[in-house]
Amino acid sequence: MIKKRICLAIDTTSPTLGLALHDLAAHAFPCLGRIFEIPDNKQTDVFFPTLDRLLKKSRLRRSDLALIAVDHGPGSFTGVRVGVAAARGIAQGLDIPVIGIGALEIIAWEAAGRIIAPRVTVAARLPALAGDAYIAVFERSAKGAWKTTRAPVWTTEAKADVELAKLARAGAHLAYIERADATPLFPQGLTPHKFTAPDPSALARLAFLKCGSVPSWSKFTIEKTIPIYLQPSWAERSKKPARARV
């Protein structure tokens, strides 16, 4: 029997549980199964039963997995930990590579896929604490190369808007997830692309871009896949002052 080469993408950084299975060996990297829903119970309780259900429905086994791609944050502290721990555990158990990709990059990548222009700049913005935001900026070149031009940071919404206003004047696009308790107002000139959560299929396709069809086990190891929180937890804040924001 020929061993299948499947990429499992995991996103647990929001209330939505995202899992996707894509075929690394097939043309166009097709999706073989996908779950993108808010579970009835805690993600810690439903993650593995949901994964097993998806594998069974897709007629696959865990042993068919050849790459794990996980959204390693920022996002919900608990959600980020759940996803990264699960990805590392599965990868270690199967002795396969794993790659962590951030939520900001995932939504920016998906937004870029909607844009026809060959060269595009996409700012990404996620809600953090009240009055705060996570932002990053990415660019697709005329030749299709994808790169980070502004590393992810945690900042205030006011400072984020100042930076977004500069990008608006340059014709940038904005990928964002809306805060649950308020509708944001963005600087004029930005072309907005709204998302409810990072899509696991977008994560899988971005992982394919970064890793190729035959991912390197030595390059994409569990030691390199760590949670990206950007801001301290509530427990850390109670012990010492929060670190300076950009």
Torsion, Cα of 210, 199, 11, 196 (10° steps): 140
Tens digits of per-residue pLDDT, 93-133?
999 999 999 999 999 999 999 999 889 999 999 999 888 99
Bridge partners, 127 (sequence order): 133
Residue 245: pLDDT band with limits 50, 70, 90: low
Domains in the chain and their CATH numbers?
6-102+198-230 (3.30.420.40), 104-195 (3.30.420.40)
| Range in 8-12, 17-21, 134-138, 165-169 with the lowest mean pLDDT | 165-169
Q: Show the DSSP H helices in 15-156 as ranges.
A: 43-57, 77-94, 103-112
Tens digits of per-residue pLDDT, 159-213?
999 999 999 999 999 999 987 766 777 888 899 999 999 999 999 999 999 998 8
CA distance 11 to 163: 28
Q: Name the pairing type of β-strands 132-140 and 98-101.
A: unpaired
